[in-house]
Structure 1
Amino acid sequence: MTEPQTAAAQATTLLRTLTDAAAEGAWSAPGRANLIGEHTDYNEGFVLPFAIQHRTHVAAARRADGVVRVVSTFDPIPVEVRLDDLPTLFDRPDHGIPEWAAYPLGVAWAAIAAAGAAPGALTGLDLAFASDVAIGAGLSSSAAIEGATASALDDLWMLGLTPLALAQVGRRAENEAVGAPTGIMDQVASMLGRPDAATFLDCRTLETQSVDLGFDAAGLRLLVIDTGVSHSHATGGYRERRASCEFGAAALGVPALRDLTIDDLPRAEALLDDVTFRRVRHIVTENDRVLDTVQILRERGPLAIGGLLVASHASMRDDFEISVPELDTAVEAALRAGALGARMTGGGFGGAAIALVPDALRDAVADAAVQAFADRGYAAPHVFTVTPSRGAGRDA
């Protein structure tokens, strides 16, 4: 029996269906899991994500006709744009680019602007994508395609952008080309990942620190429990939560909720309606939990952070109201089966939960989650381990 192709091989195979030109190389970027710090990024706060082993791969070949053409295993119909049209491609909301293609083409658009490059001086490209990052699971498949594209274009077009600048390119593509109002956490995690480490990011200053996680030494694994409930950052609840945060900051007279502390919460409660206050309280307390997690990891190690993960989930469930019954079921089942801590991760309204689990209990926790879903009549979750891994870059 022939083994299924890896995502990297799928990208190369797909490229060959597009062109006879020689491949210029292959690049990839990881998805990410967020250990703690949810919805704090666009509030200029603190986050602690890490790159995972699941990646989006792109294979590229040059073209001589001034066209950038993108294709994916998820949608094998190529989408092409002339280089000369790229600078103004996303000036209008009715640009007509399919949503998936707006990610890589949006990166090309934003990268040209960031580098101050002249489209006429750049070469056309064929870009073929394949991925093993689960879509809709809160693992940022979007940042993975952005990071892979940005890395490839930076090399092929010799743009000379730093990893942080490439992360900013990805964020601009997602915000303006795709229309998803996300912060920069996902892109930074994907670009700057390091094995067995998380990236502590100050979303205001964009300063980063690598924080050792020590999961292997402590005999721990991080399980992802993908509920299978899909979500979309570009619509609905995500936008509403961001608007509530901006309203709360304005009402309290601060540039962003990052500028509030726990001591400000009584004033916030007096000034704000109940819903807005609870949104604000989540952000303020979540920022504190991120800072506490970084300190505990450095001083005591990963065995001591479980309670912070549990408190984070409760805050997202009760104050920010972005959990769903399937996510709550996953968290509760994992904790009952022996997880040290568990929480939903990602934008919410679906996606995945994470559970920090002693290696000896990994199978028991996974089985408990599957059984809990069956008991409640939910479709079976997809449970797998994520490993803190390297960031974006060239593979071949």
Structure 2
Amino acid sequence: MTDRIASSPDYHHAATPEQGVAEAEALFAGVFGGRPDGVWSAPGRVNVIGEHVDYNGGLCLPIALPHRAYVAVRVRSDRRIRLVSPQTRDAVDELDLDAIGPKGSAGEVHGWAAYPAGVAWALEQAGLGRLPGFDAALWSCVPLGSGLSSSAALECSMAVALDDLAGLSLAGTAEQPDERGRGVLVDACRRAENDVAGANTGGLDQSASLRCRTGHALELDCRDMSTAQIPFDLPADGLELLVINTRAPHQLVDGQYAERRATCEEAARLLGVGLLVEVADRDLEETLAILPADVMRRRVRHVVTEIRRTRDFVAILREGALEGGRLDRAAALLDASHDSLRDDYQVTVPELDVAVGTARELGAHGARMTGGGFGGSAIALVDRSESTRIAAGIAAAFADRGFNAPQFIPTVPGGPAGRDA
């Protein structure tokens, strides 16, 4: 690895709630005039471990980022929706709530507006009543295209805003969330992304944005979407999760994601189960021997071992502080997760592998890619006192290889969607 250390890594720090509210309110006033009825926000997410197991019924372990999408909203007296973001302030999207429909229908919504408009549509489709029209201005500091769920943050901020403004009383507050009601909002946001935006998602991102809590990771059982809050107080342990946005293109639209999902579904059929999680406790070698093709065996090996790793990681967190032997065991699980994603699931790219490998060489307590892969972000569990040094070393390694300069996001577990003003 290079001995040269970059002098100033590129950091993307979260806006404070006050800054986020001010930006959303200023955009709203500049485009629509006057003041909104309120400002709501929701976080992006990063998955600590449990990758490509959601659609196989396994456990995932996301945390909420401190980076959030803020939406300023004012109710209208008609059924019109007007939507604006900093990138579209000169071309406001105007829609009719009575005309919105799924992708491919006559009411198809194009572009980013499909996400917030889709939430309103999905809430009505769920039988939660007739919603009022609204004007909404979005301002977000969740990095785009980094695999950190900027779209889910937008959906979930819109969901809690409409929940509040329409008197649905589903979300509770960020401090005292209504878990059952938030589950309803998760379903609406997932349906908005699936049906209106046309993106394939299983609810992990929306669950994290609506249900994570400060200082905790969210144990999400993807068989039934049940959750548990797992203590993950990184500052108390002198740690930080360094998110590394590789700025490699993050695209799941070229068939790679769909191919892996289809392979897992076919393997489950051949094994006589509905989801691969059902074979996670069987003898692995005997299970793999049933499958006819090497690629399929490798995909299943990743899924089964990743489900086991996630269970083990949760067990470590339940034992107590991440220090000593517990920290070493957690690091080994993170490392093994990346190696499996690289070798068996084959979803990494050179930028992800370099980020992970360099972080390990420089002393991280485990590192892995996070998200769907094929670009996007990696994470490294680091001592807070060493974070800047490790980030500088990764930036230097990228520069030596001619990669785009990475962006660094120091992260501790944040709170869920809620009202800010």
TM-score, normalised via structure 2 length = 0.88
Q: Which residue of 1 aligns with 2:300?
A: 280
- Give, in angstroms, the shift of residue 93 of structure 1: 5.1
Write the mapping of 1:204-243 to structure 2, written as runs, cut at 5 A.
Answer: 204-243=223-262
The alignment partner of 1:6 has SS state of helix
Q: Which residue of 2 aligns with 1:29?
A: 42
- Give, in angstroms, the shift of residue 65 of structure 1: 2.7
| More deviation, 300-309/211-220 | 300-309
Write the mapping of 1:228-267 to structure 2, written as runs, cut at 5 A.
Answer: 228-261=247-280, 262-267=282-287
Q: Which residue of 2 aligns with 1:309?
A: 334
Say whether the 8 Å CA contact 1:56–1:133 is kept in structure 2. yes
Cα distance between partner residues in 1 of 2:103 and 2:148: 29
Are 1:81 and 2:100 counterparts?
no
- Give, in angstroms, the shift of residue 232 of structure 1: 3.0
Q: Which residue of 2 aligns with 1:374?
A: 399
Q: Which residue of 2 aligns with 1:271?
A: 291
Write the mapping of 1:85-164 to structure 2, written as runs, cut at 5 A.
Answer: 85-86=99-100, 89-90=101-102, 92=104, 95-118=107-130, 122-161=131-170, 162-164=181-183
- Give, in angstroms, the shift of residue 97 of structure 1: 2.2
2:39 partner amino acid? A
Say whether the 8 Å CA contact 2:234–2:412 is kept in structure 1. no
Q: Which residue of 1 aligns with 2:11?
A: none
The partner residue of 2:62 within 49, 52, 64 is 49
Per-residue Cα deviation, 1:283-327 (whole angstroms, up to 9, x for no partner): 111111111000011114334211100000011111111100000
Cα distance between partner residues in 1 of 2:319 and 2:33: 55
Say whether the 8 Å CA contact 1:227–1:327 is kept in structure 2. yes
The alignment partner of 1:186 has SS state of helix
Length, aligned pairs only: 389
Cα distance between partner residues in 2 of 1:301 and 1:310: 19
- Give, in angstroms, the shift of residue 98 of structure 1: 2.3
| More deviation, 195-204/172-181 | 172-181
1:207 partner amino acid? S
Report the CA distance shift for 1:265/1:11 in structure 2 as closer, same or farther (over 3 A).
Answer: farther
Cα distance between partner residues in 2 of 1:20 and 1:73: 15
Cα distance between partner residues in 2 of 1:115 and 1:341: 45
Per-residue Cα deviation, 1:330-351 (whole angstroms, up to 9, x for no partner): 0000000000100000111101
The alignment partner of 1:23 has SS state of coil
Are 1:332 and 2:354 counterparts?
no
Are 1:392 and 2:417 counterparts?
yes
Say whether the 8 Å CA contact 2:216–2:229 is kept in structure 1. yes
2:303 partner amino acid? I
Write the mapping of 1:346-357 to structure 2, written as runs, cut at 5 A.
Answer: 346-357=371-382
Cα distance between partner residues in 2 of 1:178 and 1:253: 33
- Give, in angstroms, the shift of residue 160 of structure 1: 3.2
- Give, in angstroms, the shift of residue 377 of structure 1: 1.3
The alignment partner of 1:97 has SS state of coil
- Give, in angstroms, the shift of residue 384 of structure 1: 2.3
Say whether the 8 Å CA contact 1:252–1:268 is kept in structure 2. no
Cα distance between partner residues in 2 of 1:74 and 1:175: 24
| More deviation, 272-281/132-141 | 272-281
- Give, in angstroms, the shift of residue 21 of structure 1: 4.9
- Give, in angstroms, the shift of residue 158 of structure 1: 1.7
Write the mapping of 1:172-191 to structure 2, written as runs, cut at 5 A.
Answer: 172-191=191-210
- Give, in angstroms, the shift of residue 96 of structure 1: 4.6
Q: Which residue of 2 aligns with 1:318?
A: 343
Give the gaps of 5 or more residues in structure 2. 1-14, 171-180
Give the gaps of 5 or more residues in structure 1. none
The alignment partner of 2:147 has SS state of coil
Cα distance between partner residues in 2 of 1:284 and 1:145: 32
1:273 partner amino acid? A
Q: Percent identity?
A: 46
1:103 partner amino acid? Y
The alignment partner of 1:85 has SS state of coil
Say whether the 8 Å CA contact 2:146–2:377 is kept in structure 1. yes
Say whether the 8 Å CA contact 2:109–2:197 is kept in structure 1. no
Say whether the 8 Å CA contact 1:181–1:239 is kept in structure 2. no
Cα distance between partner residues in 1 of 2:85 and 2:269: 42
The partner residue of 1:359 within 375, 384, 395 is 384
Per-residue Cα deviation, 1:364-391 (whole angstroms, up to 9, x for no partner): 1101101111111112111120121110
Cα distance between partner residues in 1 of 2:112 and 2:204: 20
The partner residue of 1:38 within 26, 34, 51 is 51
Say whether the 8 Å CA contact 1:18–1:126 is kept in structure 2. no
2:123 partner amino acid? A
Say whether the 8 Å CA contact 1:51–1:193 is kept in structure 2. yes
The alignment partner of 1:37 has SS state of coil
